[in-house]
Chains A and B, each alone.
Chain A
Amino acid sequence: MNAYIKLILAYLKIGLFGFGGGYAMLSLIQREVVGSGWITSTMFTDIVAISQMTPGPIGINSATYIGYVVGCDAGGMGWISGILGSVLATLAVVIPPYILTLYTGHFINKHKNSPVTKSVFSGLRPVCVGLIGSAALLLINKDNFGVTDFEQITSIIICIASFGIVYFSKVHPILVIILAGFAGYLIY
């Protein structure tokens, strides 16, 4: 029982203080779950790798996986206590930001037409474009584009081709992901 409460507290903290989404949250998650001794550092790296391989936000992925591991250790009922841990950790990481975001959204929508809100958003829009740009820059690394020359050149070609398809045609981005996966399967 005690372990479940600790788990919930850790993920409440991650949810409330994890600014910047995704990879920016990683160090916070690492400090909470590896620091608590729930999982080893190698296991954490593996979870990050799985999160990159499976779809979905890394915050949810880590909460579900670590919740399962901690639940199995604590509950003594095998996979049932594991699932309970997953559900609790996932809810804990989602609910506080959910309430905050909902409240802020309502507040801003109420004052949508005030010149102050309009001016704040006119300043935010170019910054938002920059934020998206930084996300793209941060992903251009060895983990995503490979190490050898062959891998890197192939990756750059796939990247440019995907960009062309998404930007200049009306193809659904999901189809581009599937095509890129298929190309990877054929090439490597």
Chain B
Amino acid sequence: MIRHILCNFAVVFQNATMTDNIFFKLFTSFFKVGAFTFGGGWAMIAIIEKEIVTKNKWIGKEEFLDLLAIAQAMPGILAVNIAVVIGDRLKGIKGSLCAALGTILPSFFMILAIAIFLTPETIKNDPTLSAIFKGIRPAVVALIIAPMLTTAKVAKISRKTIIIPIATALLIYSGIPYISSPVVYIILGCVGGYMYYVISQHKKLGTGKEDKQ
């Protein structure tokens, strides 16, 4: 009897560890992302792309870009939103929880430790730390530009459409109130894509009619 229960338990446990494995991997991948994201949400794209698209091949590049668009269109913390959409796409709500926790926990514990043990001044005045960060900050910019170029390839940007990303980037950079809000361009992108579809459908219908005549 006891052996029977133990055997059952072993099987359940084995199944649990096998399925949990993916959740655990998801958690550790996003833990890495959370622990090495300097300079805000966009800087983590290079790391996420490496972990999710290149290394584990969980999702394709094109789908990655679509998920990025969803995450960006929602309010809240971009890093967490990206984790939520990717985790959910892979393993449902449980997956999104694992990914979100992985992103949040490193900075939560680090800031908590700083709040309890260190004052801001001690870090700011430490010459070693500030030297290290002087090196890291320009590298972060490079870490944003590199995935931008790879995503540009995936988005199939041609000579005709290259004006869209350039105009978007410059207008957001301009800092003019309202015009520099990213939300404007997300809405314009949605409407523009849809209009293009409607117009091309019309053209198809038009040629169809001509053929009949």
A4 to B182 Cα, complex, angstroms: 32
Classify chain A: how many residues form its interface, as a range.
Answer: 35 or more
Q: Summarize A's interface: helix, strand, loop or mixed.
A: helix
Please give me the residue from chain B that is nearest to A123 by CB atom.
Answer: B193
A130 to B164 Cα, complex, angstroms: 7
A185 to B130 Cα, complex, angstroms: 8
Interface presence of A81 (CB below 8 A)? no
A17 to B138 Cα, complex, angstroms: 30
Please tell me if the beta carbons of A133 and B115 are within 8 angstroms of each other in the complex.
no
* Per-residue A-contact encoding for B174-195, CB less than 8 Å = 1, 0 else: 0000000111011011111110
The contact of B169 among A24, A50, A134, by CB within 8 Å, is: A134
Please tell me if the beta carbons of B136 and A138 are within 8 angstroms of each other in the complex.
no
A22 to B31 Cα, complex, angstroms: 18
A47 to B111 Cα, complex, angstroms: 10
Distance (whole angstroms) from the CB of B98 to the closest CB of chain A: 13
Segment from B1-9, B18-26, B145-153 that makes contact with A: B145-153
Please tell me if the beta carbons of A174 and B32 are within 8 angstroms of each other in the complex.
yes
Please tell me if the beta carbons of A162 and B142 are within 8 angstroms of each other in the complex.
yes
Distance (whole angstroms) from the CB of B151 to the closest CB of chain A: 5
A57 to B157 Cα, complex, angstroms: 30
Please tell me if the beta carbons of A140 and B141 are within 8 angstroms of each other in the complex.
yes
Q: What A residues does B134 contact at CB under 8 A? A: 146, 151, 155, 184, 187-188
Interface presence of B93 (CB below 8 A)? yes
A69 to B111 Cα, complex, angstroms: 12
**Contacts A17-B75, A61-B111, A68-B112; is A137 near B189 (CB within 8 Å)?**
no
Q: What B residues does A121 contact at CB under 8 A? A: 66, 69, 193
* Per-residue B-contact encoding for A147-171, CB less than 8 Å = 1, 0 else: 0000100011011111100110010
Q: What A residues does B185 contact at CB under 8 A? A: 127, 130-131
Q: What B residues does A1 contact at CB under 8 A? A: none
Interface presence of A172 (CB below 8 A)? yes
Please tell me if the beta carbons of A124 and B147 are within 8 angstroms of each other in the complex.
no
A55 to B132 Cα, complex, angstroms: 13
Please tell me if the beta carbons of A82 and B115 are within 8 angstroms of each other in the complex.
yes
Chain A residues 81 to 124 lying within 8 A of chain B, measured CB to CB, are 82-83, 86, 90, 93-94, 96-98, 100-102, 104-106, 108-109, 115-116, 118-124
Interface presence of B65 (CB below 8 A)? yes
A125 to B54 Cα, complex, angstroms: 20
Please tell me if the beta carbons of A133 and B181 are within 8 angstroms of each other in the complex.
no
A60 to B73 Cα, complex, angstroms: 19
The contact of A125 among B32, B40, B45, B154, by CB within 8 Å, is: B154
- Output the residue of B38, B156, B190 with the most chain A CB within 10 A: B38
The contact of A90 among B108, B120, B138, B173, by CB within 8 Å, is: B108
Distance (whole angstroms) from the CB of A107 to the closest CB of chain B: 10
Interface presence of A180 (CB below 8 A)? yes
User: Which 3 pairs show the lowest CB-CB distances between chains A and B?
Assistant: A184-B135, A123-B193, A56-B107
Q: List 7 A-B contacts (CB under 8 A).
A: A49-B120, A54-B110, A119-B196, A126-B155, A132-B147, A163-B145, A180-B138
